[in-house]
Amino acid sequence: MPKLDSGPMHTDAGFHSQPTLPSLSEVHRSLVVPSSAGFFRKLFAFAGPGFLVAVGYMDPGNWATDLAGGSKYNYALLSVIMISNLMAILLQALSLKLGIVTGRDLAQACRDHYSRPVSFLLWFICELAIAACDLAEIIGSAIALNLLFHIPLIAGVCITALDVLIVLFLQNKGFRYIESLVIALIFVIGGCFAWELVVSRPDLLGIAKGFIPSAKIITDPGMLYIAIGILGATVMPHNLYLHSSIVQTRRYELNAAGKREAIKFATIDSTLALMFALFINAAILIVSAATFYTRGRNDVAEIQDAYKLLSPLLGVTGASTLFALALLASGQNSTLTGTLAGQIVMEGFLNIRLRPWLRRLITRGIAIIPAIIVTVISGEKGTTNLLVLSQVVLSLQLSFAVFPLVMFTSNKLKMGEFVNGLTVKCLAWFVAVVIASLNAWLLVQTFRSWLT
């Protein structure tokens, strides 16, 4: 086997300390990248982390905003989904570059750069965001189990805890097994919605026009509110921590040429995966528009309502079942990646090493307990409100991940020759400010609606 660890280890000049034990140490640099292989063999070796990240962009938290956007405004908000996805592609590319170049995930870089109190605060906020995201995924899975098998919501919430066992089993066999399961579930979701698109017979010209941004999105308060909801639900903060860590599961050469090649192939993997996420989110909105908007049902914003109405309105047996199956695959997939993100964040910020099964039980418990309480007290309506609340919490935390990421990757001392160029730097700061501004507006409007 050729020597893979030649050259300087990592860019350390801009950091206060040497890299500590990596997050997910049991799978760190465990997948060998062939040094003398063709383009497609190397791309296959790097393929996987991008799809784990893409899961967060099609999780149940996105479904409600996509359904509402389609049923109320036809295809007009497709442009918002596209712009959100382009922002996500840029931010995830910066995340993977940080991990490859510095040998640190985003959480470790924050712990090294900031004071201990600031680092602890960032960790606490991030844990809240992961719990909120986990909450949306658990509720989504529970709703899907209820729709498919009539399992009570409370039992469905408890069943989702079993994913801890799945992750532990697969990770012990190798990280490729986790990636394979996630990719298989993504293709289940894609297949379900490809069929839904065919039977819903959408207006192709209307879809094409929907991808062109319209000034009405800004001038119409209702449309703007849903548009910002789509933006807020698309870029997931925990994905930025996750990607910067799992990209290091590949054993690429640690010199400048090896890092440059790793960045290239990892970026291709990430971009292709996120384009698939774009297809899923766009498909949810298109099916909603073609099924509900065209029939005057502008009030469909909840997953349960969409399930009940799909088959009757389309006149196609199985449309509702496939919708729920895709939801189950989406929710289960997201819980798998959420548990990995939780481990990365705790190890990165606090440098605390817990046994993987214990860390995942803690992560799952934080999300399951409030889900059980709300489900018992207020039933189905409460779970819908909890989904909305989870997206608000995610919006609160997002900028605390985006701004450090852009700052670190734009720092010459930290990144060396891989520092962001002027164009990328300006674009990244623009995206960071836009996301922060829109999420702040969304939070103000949400709290205002709660008060009234």
Using CA atoms, how far apart are residues 445 and 452, in angstroms rounded to an integer? 11
Tens-digit pLDDT profile for residues 142-156: 889 989 999 988 888
The predicted model gives 307-323 an average pLDDT of 88
pLDDT for the residue numbered 386: 67
Is the pLDDT score of 216 beyond 50? yes
> Which residue reads 């990365």 in tokens?
344
Residue 1 covered by a domain: no
Q: Out of 219-228, 280-289, 380-389, which region has the weakest mean confidence (pLDDT)?
A: 380-389
User: CA torsion, points 299, 301, 307, 309, in degrees to nearest 10?
Assistant: 10
* Backbone Cα Rg of the chain: 21
Report the CATH number that the domain containing residue 77 is assigned in CATH: 1.20.1740.10
Domain count of the fold of the chain: 1
Using CA atoms, how far apart are residues 272 and 46, in angstroms rounded to an integer? 12
> Which residue reads 């990280």 in tokens?
175
**pLDDT class of 389 with cuts at 50, 70, 90:** low
Higher pLDDT, 8 or 185: 185
Residue 205 covered by a domain: yes
Tens-digit pLDDT profile for residues 236-274: 788 899 999 999 999 999 999 999 999 999 999 999 999
| Secondary structure in 3-state letters for the chain | CCCCCCCCCCCCCCCCCCCCCCCCCCCCCCEECCCCCCHHHHHHHHCCHHHHHHHHHCCHHHHHHHHHHHHHHCCCCHHHHHHHHHHHHHHHHHHHHHHHHHCCCHHHHHHHHCCHHHHHHHHHHHHHHHHHHHHHHHHHHHHHHHHHHCCCHHHHHHHHHHHHHHHHHHHHHCHHHHHHHHHHHHHHHHHHHHHHHHHHCCCHHHHHHHCCCCCHHHHCHHHHHHHHHHHHHHCCHHHHHHHHHHHHHEECCCCHHHHHHHHHHHHHHHHHHHHHHHHHHHHHHHHHHHHCHHHCCCCCCCHHHHHHHHHHHHCCCCHHHHHHHHHHHHHHHHHHHHHHHHHHHHHHHHCCCCCHHHHHHHHHHHHHHHHHHHHHHHHHHHHHHHHHHHHHHHHHHHHHHHHHHHHHHCCHHHHHHHCCCHHHHHHHHHHHHHHHHHHHHHHHHHHHHHHC
Residue 220 covered by a domain: yes
Residue 81 covered by a domain: yes
Residue 11 covered by a domain: no
Residue 19 covered by a domain: no
Tens-digit pLDDT profile for residues 343-362: 888 889 988 777 766 766 77
Q: Are 98 and 317 in contact (CB under 8 A)?
A: no
The predicted model gives 168-175 an average pLDDT of 74
Long-range pairs of 252-255 with CB within 8 A, sequence gap ≥ 24: 252/4, 252/33, 252/100, 253/4, 253/5, 253/6, 253/7, 253/35, 254/4, 254/5, 254/6, 254/7, 254/8, 254/9, 254/10, 254/103, 255/6, 255/7, 255/8
Residue 5 covered by a domain: no
pLDDT for the residue numbered 2: 40
Residue 2 covered by a domain: no
Using CA atoms, how far apart are residues 144 and 133, in angstroms rounded to an integer? 17
pLDDT for the residue numbered 8: 43
With CA atoms as reference, report the closest residue to 288 among 56, 76, 54, 57.
76
What tokens does 371 get?
């889900």
| Structural domain range at position 322 | 32-451
72 phi and psi, to 5 degrees?
Answer: -95, -35
